[in-house]
Every structure is written in C-alpha cells, then in structure tokens.
Amino acid sequence: MQVTMPTGAETKTSVRTEPLFRDLERRNVLYIAVQFTDLFGMSKQLLVHRNEWETLLAGRIMIDGSSIDGFANVHESDLMLQPDMDTLHIQNWRPEEASGPIAALYCDVVTMDGASAAGCTRSMLKRMLSEAAGRGFRLQVGLEGEFFLFPTDGAGHPCLSERDDGSYCDVFPLDQGERTRLEIVSALHEQGYALEAAHHEVAPGQHEINFRFGDALAIADHWQKFKQIVKFTAARNGMFASFLPKPFAGQNGNAMHCNLSLQNAEGDNVFSDSRSSTGLSDVASAYIGGLLKHADGMAAIANPTVNSYKRLIRGYEAPTHISWSRSNRTAMIRVPGARGRQTRIELRTPDPTANPYLLFAVMLKAGLDGIDAKLAPGEEAFGNLYDMPLEKRSNRRHYPRDLLSALERMQDSSIVREVMGEQAFDQYIAVKTSEAERFAAEVHPWEIDSYLGKY
C-alpha cells in the first residue's frame, strides 16, 4: 500500500495541538500507530513519526484505497485518514520499543473531498448512531469475547492438539492459560477497559472475557484493540491466540455475544419497564422483533466466514433457529434476568470474525426498523430447541446453514444495503461469494473417509 504525505503540509506545532504534543513528547513518544479497519473487519495501520503529526491531525495522510479490500477502485484510489483524537492512547501493553513507547488512534477513511469512503465501516456505524440519536436513542453494547489459546512449536506455529484439559470456570492446572489470561485482563484494565469477568470457557483451551456495556462506537474500537492485545500477549507467552469460530468438531466454538440496550438522552435504559409482566418495554419488544425479522439478511455480517456456520449447529449452546426467549440459551435472542438499568437483550449468533462496526450498524438498523413498525417479537421459545420435535420447530425459521445461503439472503436485505451503500454492499457480496465457492470446490478428508470405500 502506497502512503503519501501531501506536499506543503505544515510541520510547525499549532496552538490547538500543543498540549497533546507536550504530553506525547514528555512520554518520549516518537510514533503514532494510525489504525483503521477494512470492509471485512481486518485492522490496518501505518506509523507516523512526530515530524508528521500536524499532517496527521489535519487529515492529510493519504493511502492507496485500491490496495485494501472494499475501499476503492484503482482509477479512484486516493483516500485520506481522518483521525479521531478521542481515541488516542499509549500502547502500554507492548514492551517498549527501542524508539520509545508507541501511541495509537483510530481513523475514519474519507475521499479527497472529505466524504466517507465507500468501504469505511466505522463511518457506517457513526451514521447509524447519528440516525438513532435523532430519535433520542443511544446504542449501548456489551460484548463477550471468546478465543482459544494454543501452545506453539519452535517456529511459533500453534500446536492444535496440545490444549489444556480445562472446562467452564476451571482453574490451574486444568486451566493452562490462566497466567496469560490474567496478563491480558491486566493490560485491558490499564487501557481503561471496564470488564465484568474473565474465565476459562467450556472447550479445552477456550477462554472468555466479558466487556461491561458502553457506547457502541467506543466498544467497536475496544474490540479491535482487544484482539490485538490478546494475540500479542499470547505470543509473548509462547502461545497462539485464535478467534476462529469453530476450530474443532465436537467442541463448543467461539462466539461474540452482543448484549444490547438503548438509552435516552438522560441516560435511562428505555428497554426497561417495571410495569410490564416481562420487565421489558414496548421499545425492547419491538427491537427484538426487528432483529428477528432481519436475522436472515444480517447473517453474512454476523457470521462472515465458511467456518462460522460450523459453530451454528445443535448441541453446543449456539442458536440454530430464529427465536427469542427470556432464559433459553438455544434461542437466537436471550433476555437475561437482570432488570432496571441492566435490562438488555443478548444476540447470540455473532462470532469474533465479524466486523464490529458493520455488525453494530446493521443490528441497530434492524432494531430501529422494528421500533418504527412496532413489530411484535412473536411467541417466546420455551424448552431446548435442539431436542424439540421437528414439527414444533418447523414453525420457526432456520438460521442460514452456510455462508452461501446467508449471502443469498443478504442480497434481498434492503436494510443491509442501505447501511452499507451500493459499492460496499456489492463488493462484500462478491468477495464472500468467491470465498464460499472456493470452499465448495474443495474435497475434504471427511468425504474421502466416508465415501471412497463405499462407492
């Protein structure tokens, strides 16, 4: 990717930025890691030296958008990075480099005339948050981050067969990743994260760290940094961290459960209503209705890889049908028991390969559509949907079974198209369809083991 500094950029420190520069210089910071996210959720960054900070702050650092999936065509590839100074932080989870500590911040990607770039999902989320604010709502999100830790060989490659023997909430020695997880949690707290809990998860080698709820944009930024901290800390401890949804057959997979609520301008939780029999407001019920209505169309955003759908099968606390419940972990949407300010809904389909900005944007659009249309969520799901007779499950829509099916349903989703815009929508469909078709063309060991000797 070619990076260009426009000519004529000022290098003299402005009065407006002097306090910022003084603080960074006092900390001996020479570089800022300027970070942004591509259409498919991958973090990107470039390092900007102290001499070019004024250029950065003026939004005049240019990148070649055609070299990044989903941003621009080769004939209109010049894009610029617009920094969000509220996100500036020191990466104190890294060992100090020879050049001193490194600062970092997040950027929106814009065109040369200042408009949002087609593939900038952070801008997509900001537009949706602005739309919600116009109706008096602020989206609050709390995430549950799941990942696997593997020991590594001499070359740093993960040893997938050598996991620990831990299960849900186990401790050392069954939990061999306890020390690494504690280092991760400590680094997160030092970065200002509000966390609820951290523990070993159900599968061997699997871990979970839960975020306390916060404003959606900040949580999306935090998620991107969280993945970097997890991977970096694991590597420093001779381990390999993976957020792959389903690394192993016969074991639970990695989810990114999203706990959602709306606040009004006064900070009150508008999902709560102590007068209703469920403790849920009409707004909350309609929001659930919107998520259920648009679940098919959002599936390729919430679960964007071929591997994602290996997790969404019966028997592993992952949803398979489009349904809701107040306590049922086999339902797509669960309403946890806490009420009042803690009232929330938990969307259980997303996994960690999702782009958080894009995911939050389409979830919010779906929920707002439910509120506008006053959609009822329908009958609550009772009992284990996995064990329910087929005839009783048949009146509930099955969640897409594979990526290609999800993409076909996304094609018909007007809300996803509206959130993304035509260019990004078409690019996403094209890239992910190619990915699904490449997988479909492969012959897998299971097929050989099951069929070769039989036919």
Report percent pLDDT > 90 for the chain: 71
Same domain, 241 and 207: yes
Could you tell me the pLDDT band of residue 98, with boundaries at 50, 70 and 90? low
Domain boundary among 92, 119, 146: 119
User: Residue 4 and residue 296: Cα distance in Å, rounded?
Assistant: 41
Tell me the per-residue pLDDT of 280-298, one tens digit each, with 9 for 90 and over: 999 999 999 999 999 999 9
For the ranges 205-209, 380-384, 407-411, the lowest mean pLDDT is seen at: 380-384
Domain CATH number, residue 232: 3.30.590.10
Among 210, 232, 234, residue whose Cα is nearest residue 223: 210
For the ranges 103-107, 151-155, 417-421, the lowest mean pLDDT is seen at: 151-155
Same domain, 18 and 166: no
Residue 264 is assigned to a structural domain of this protein: yes
Same domain, 101 and 141: no
Same domain, 203 and 307: yes
pLDDT at 145 over 60: yes
* pLDDT of the residue at 388: 65
Is the C-alpha dihedral spanning 405, 122, 255, 398 positive or negative?
negative
Same domain, 114 and 141: no
pLDDT at 275 over 50: yes
Among 287, 290, 301, residue whose Cα is nearest residue 416: 301
Residue 454 is assigned to a structural domain of this protein: no
* pLDDT of the residue at 92: 83
Q: Is the peptide bond before 352 cis (omega within 30 degrees of 0)?
A: no
**Higher pLDDT, residue 72 or 55:** 55
Neighbours of 336 (CB within 10 A): 13
Could you tell me the pLDDT band of residue 134, with boundaries at 50, 70 and 90? very high
* pLDDT of the residue at 362: 98
In degrees, to the nearest 5, what angle opens at C-alpha 339 toward C-alphas 334 and 340?
A: 140
**Higher pLDDT, residue 340 or 1:** 340
Q: What are phi and psi of 66, to 5 degrees?
A: -70, -15
Tell me the per-residue pLDDT of 15-67, one tens digit each, with 9 for 90 and over: 445 677 778 888 889 899 999 999 999 999 999 998 888 888 888 888 888 77
Residue 184 is assigned to a structural domain of this protein: yes
* pLDDT of the residue at 283: 97
pLDDT at 8 over 50: no
Same domain, 108 and 154: no
Q: CA of 233: how far to CAs of 116, 187, 255, in Å?
A: 34, 9, 21
Report percent pLDDT > 70 for the chain: 91
Domain CATH number, residue 97: 3.10.20.70
Same domain, 30 and 166: no
Same domain, 74 and 177: no
CB 147 within 8 A of CB 102: no
Q: CA of 128: how far to CAs of 68, 117, 336, 408, 439, in Å?
A: 23, 15, 26, 24, 33
* pLDDT of the residue at 201: 94
User: Residue 404 and residue 380: Cα distance in Å, rounded?
Assistant: 29
Same domain, 196 and 297: yes
For the ranges 121-130, 256-265, 395-404, 414-423, the lowest mean pLDDT is seen at: 395-404
Please give the residue range of the domain that contains residue 420.
Answer: 127-449
* pLDDT of the residue at 284: 96
Residue 455 is assigned to a structural domain of this protein: no
pLDDT at 390 over 70: no
Same domain, 106 and 132: no
Domain boundary among 79, 94, 119: 119
Mean pLDDT comparison of 25-39, 233-247, 319-333, 379-393, highest-scoring range:
233-247
**Higher pLDDT, residue 98 or 13:** 98
Mean pLDDT, to the nearest integer, of 163-167?
Answer: 91
User: Residue 317 and residue 277: Cα distance in Å, rounded?
Assistant: 27
pTM, rounded to two decimals? 0.92
Residue 416 is assigned to a structural domain of this protein: yes
Domain count, the chain: 2
Could you tell me the pLDDT band of residue 125, with boundaries at 50, 70 and 90? very high
* pLDDT of the residue at 391: 56
For the ranges 118-127, 327-336, 384-393, the lowest mean pLDDT is seen at: 384-393
In degrees, to the nearest 5, what angle opens at C-alpha 193 toward C-alphas 192 and 194?
A: 120
Domain boundary among 85, 119, 153: 119
Residue 215 is assigned to a structural domain of this protein: yes
In degrees, to the nearest 5, what angle opens at C-alpha 125 toward C-alphas 255 and 342?
A: 55
Among 163, 145, 157, 332, residue whose Cα is nearest residue 254: 145
Same domain, 138 and 102: no
User: Residue 154 and residue 368: Cα distance in Å, rounded?
Assistant: 51
Residue 175 is assigned to a structural domain of this protein: yes
Residue 286 is assigned to a structural domain of this protein: yes
Give me 175's structure tokens: 């939990």
pLDDT at 74 over 70: no
* pLDDT of the residue at 11: 38
Same domain, 106 and 200: no
